[in-house]
Amino acid sequence: MSAKYSSRTKLLISALAALLVSTWGCAGAMQSNWGRKLAFWNKEDVDPRGALAPYKIVAKLREERETLPSMPPDQQQAKAAELATQYQNESDPLVRAEIVRTISVCGAPQAGTTLTAALQDADRDVRLAACDAWGVHGGPQAVSSLSNLLRHDRSMDVRLAAARALGQLKGPEVVQALAPGLEDPDPAMQYRIVQSLRESTGKDFGDNVNAWNEFVRGGSPPEISASERLKLKYF
């Protein structure tokens, strides 16, 4: 097999592996999640204790997410404290995940504390939401928090989400956080790391893991041409 087709085949295998890993990771939870979501939507608007039904809470959180970034700092601080308490007291993981998404757009320091706690949530879906939330929130804690999750979380889906969120951030510390993933034996993780490095750095060495390894170690491998980028994108 020629080097050209070998490289192309590796790309396709990596992409397929990423898809399969995501599918396998989700398949085991689909039935329980489906039942959970049916219960979520089938509740009455208000329960016997007078509390709003989960889907009503989520709708309210989504509305707040639209207005929260434009609030004055003191109001953001108050809202962050309110959301932190709400997260701590919420038993429904779907609602906790929505709280995490909402607090991600808040600039108050307490938002980072809640996002850090969410990375340790017992529910995988909440940890997935926390990864995306850190990618949106950014800040000094984002890279170290996501890097730790990338190395240690028990769920491959969450580790992939952490790698994806790191790609939304900038700086040499992001490169160093992603670099170990290039040595991961799982091709799906290698593929995700390459995509995130490309997004974070603006560099493009194609899907050549050796070239990316050289780059993260301080080297200057040649970037692929514009025509090669088109081939990777469309063929």
Task: List, for residues 33-89, the tens digit of each pLDDT value.
Answer: 544 554 545 555 545 444 678 889 999 999 999 999 999 999 999 999 999 999 999
Q: What is the mean pLDDT of residues 14-43?
A: 50
The pLDDT confidence band at residue 5, using thresholds 50, 70 and 90, is: very low
Residue 27 has pLDDT above 50, yes or no: no
Q: What is the mean pLDDT of residues 172-185?
A: 95
Q: What are 186-205's pLDDT values in tens digits?
A: 999 999 999 999 999 999 99
CA–CA gap between residue 6 and residue 152 (Å, rounded)? 32
What's the pLDDT score for residue 234?
A: 58
Q: Are 104 and 133 in contact (CB under 8 A)?
A: yes
Helix, strand, coil percentages (3-state) for the chain, rounded to 5, are: 75, 0, 25
The domain ranges of the chain are: 46-137, 162-235
Q: Please report which residue ranges of 73-123 form alpha helices under DSSP H.
A: 73-89, 93-103, 109-118
Q: What are 110-152's pLDDT values in tens digits?
A: 899 999 999 999 999 999 999 999 999 998 899 999 999 999 9
Q: Are 150 and 162 in contact (CB under 8 A)?
A: yes
Residue 26 has pLDDT above 50, yes or no: no
Task: Count Cβ atoms within 10 A of the Cβ of residue 141 and give its class: 0-12 exposed, 13-18 middle, 19 or more buried.
Answer: middle
Please state which CATH class domain 46-137 belongs to.
mainly alpha
CA–CA gap between residue 206 and residue 7 (Å, rounded)? 10
